[in-house]
């Protein structure tokens, strides 16, 4: 086990190196050169300006040389400067990561709570209408493009009913709470501003729900299946026959046994979260990493694209590792390797 973990940990930096290299050359394989994201039409044909700009951004060197410099800077923690925002990429990302994390955590919480509840309801009322309803609701969520459900919900709740705010993390006039974690909910609480906390929450409802809905299907399915397993176990039947209250039986016995597979599947749904972040953040103008990724790709902003991919891949790899390990702990039968 320990050997396995160590091996996987060693693999991560190597994989990241692979990701960086693939990304770097992929980015530079695009027709034309990076100047197109730095200059306007007017100056692309002006040799003086082109030369000055190349010098300014170090683009006058050969590609392998640029790659070498990039890797060297990366090792010292410098991700380069974004072509689009003209700020250090790392600064851009660390500004946006909390926004994405906050949204991801909220959707994870809503998604797991709702997924677990739906799964338990479905198992409890197995093969009845509630079961069908719960399964359908969860399945619809994972079958719907998030950018469409987001749009529809935005239209209904923000434009028509006007009970939830439009895009963004805060109302336009509100000041950002003093920086501690960068997550506005937590920062607002730390600063003791309850109204601001509620406002942030209000802005998060729609995007978080849209992302959560897309994860409910997979979570509720697993919960339902393992719950059914557990409910048929001897000891549950015994507990029931002893006249223990139904709710207590479920919470005390069943839930505990359902937790491990559920946690594992929640880890697996991380990929959904990243996809969700990219699309949902675009619809809701949520200034997170996903929105940044889309804007940078559109602008051919190579330093930013590579930076986001490195961060995304690292998070992805670490989550996968944690998930695999917890999976192995949960099912000792599974052979790692």
Chain positions 80 to 119 lying near another protein, rule: CB under 8 A, are: 81, 84-88, 92, 95
How open is the CA angle 201-202-203, to the nearest 5 degrees? Answer: 90
Closer residue to another protein, CB minimum distance, 128 or 256: 128
Residue 80, Ramachandran bin (φ over 0: left; ψ between -120 and 50: alpha; else beta)? left
Q: How far is the CB of 2 from another protein (least distance, A)?
A: 21
Distance from C-alpha of 214 to C-alpha of 69, rounded to nearest angstrom: 41
Q: What is the DSSP string of 100-152?
A: HHHHHHHHHHHHHHHHHHHHHHHHHTTTSHHHHHHHHHHHHHHHS-HHHHHHH
22 near another protein, judged by CB under 8 A:
yes
| Position among 18, 178, 235, 252 found at the interface with another protein (CB under 8 A) | 18
Based on the shown chain and the rule CB under 8 A, indicate whether residue 182 belongs to the binding site for another protein. no
Q: Does 255 engage in binding with another protein (CB under 8 A)?
A: no
User: Under DSSP, is residue 233 helix (H, G, I), strand (E, B) or coil?
Assistant: coil
Query: How many residues line the site for another protein (CB under 8 A)?
Result: 102
Positions in 190-249 near another protein (CB under 8 A): 198, 202, 217, 225, 228-229, 243, 245-247
Q: Evaluate whether 280 touches 286 at the Cβ level (below 8 Å).
A: yes
The site map against another protein for 116-145 (x = CB under 8 A) is ----------x------------xx-xxxx
Cβ proximity to another protein: between 91 and 235 the closer is 91
Stretch that binds another protein, among 102-110, 179-187, 274-282, 324-332 (CB under 8 A): 274-282
Which of 173, 192, 242, 333 is close enough to bind another protein by CB under 8 A?
173
* Minimum separation from the CB atom of position 272 to another protein (A): 10
Q: Which one of the spans 70-78, 106-114, 183-191, 279-287 is the region binding another protein (CB under 8 A)?
A: 279-287
Q: The tokens of 4 are what?
A: 């396995």
Residue 329 CB, nearest approach to another protein (Å): 20
Task: Report the alpha-carbon distance of residue 119 to residue 128 in Å, rounded.
Answer: 13
Unique residue bearing structure tokens 């549950």? 236
CA distance 286 to 281: 5
Q: Is the CB of 29 or the CB of 76 nearer to another protein?
A: 29
Give 195-213 as a DSSP string.
HHHHHHHHHHHHHHHHHHH
Question: 3 or 42, CB closer to another protein?
Answer: 42
């Amino acid at each position: 086990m320990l050997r396995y973990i160590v091996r996987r940990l060693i693999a991560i930096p190597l994989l990241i190196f692979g990701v960086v290299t693939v990304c770097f050359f992929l980015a530079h394989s695009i027709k034309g050169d990076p100047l197109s994201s730095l200059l306007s039409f007017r100056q692309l044909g002006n040799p003086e300006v082109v030369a000055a700009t190349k010098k300014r951004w170090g683009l006058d060197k050969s590609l392998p040389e640029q790659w070498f410099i990039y890797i060297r800077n990366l090792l010292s923690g410098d991700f380069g400067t974004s072509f689009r925002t003209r700020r250090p990429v790392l600064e851009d990302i660390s500004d946006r990561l909390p926004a994405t994390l906050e949204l991801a955590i909220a959707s994870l919480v809503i998604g797991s709570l709702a997924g677990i509840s739906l799964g338990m309801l479905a198992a409890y009322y197995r093969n009845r209408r509630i079961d069908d309803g719960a399964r359908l609701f969860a399945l619809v969520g994972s079958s719907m493009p998030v950018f469409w459900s987001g749009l529809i919900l935005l239209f209904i709740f923000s434009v028509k009913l006007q009970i939830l705010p439009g895009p963004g993390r805060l109302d336009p006039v509100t000041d950002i709470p003093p920086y501690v974690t960068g997550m506005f909910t937590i920062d607002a609480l730390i600063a003791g501003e309850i109204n601001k906390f509620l406002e942030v929450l209000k802005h998060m409802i729609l995007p978080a729900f849209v992302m959560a809905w897309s994860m409910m299907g997979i979570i509720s399915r697993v919960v339902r299946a393992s719950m059914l397993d557990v409910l048929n176990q001897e000891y549950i039947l015994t507990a029931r026959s002893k006249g223990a209250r139904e709710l207590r039986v479920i919470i005390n016995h069943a839930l505990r046994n359902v937790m491990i597979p559920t946690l594992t599947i929640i880890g697996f749904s991380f990929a959904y979260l990243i996809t969700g972040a990219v699309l949902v953040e675009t619809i809701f103008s949520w200034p997170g990493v996903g929105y940044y990724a889309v804007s940078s790709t559109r602008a051919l902003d190579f330093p930013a694209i590579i930076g986001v991919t490195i961060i995304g891949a690292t998070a992805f790899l670490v989550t996968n590792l944690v998930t695999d390990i917890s999976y192995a702990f949960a099912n000792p039968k599974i052979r790692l390797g």
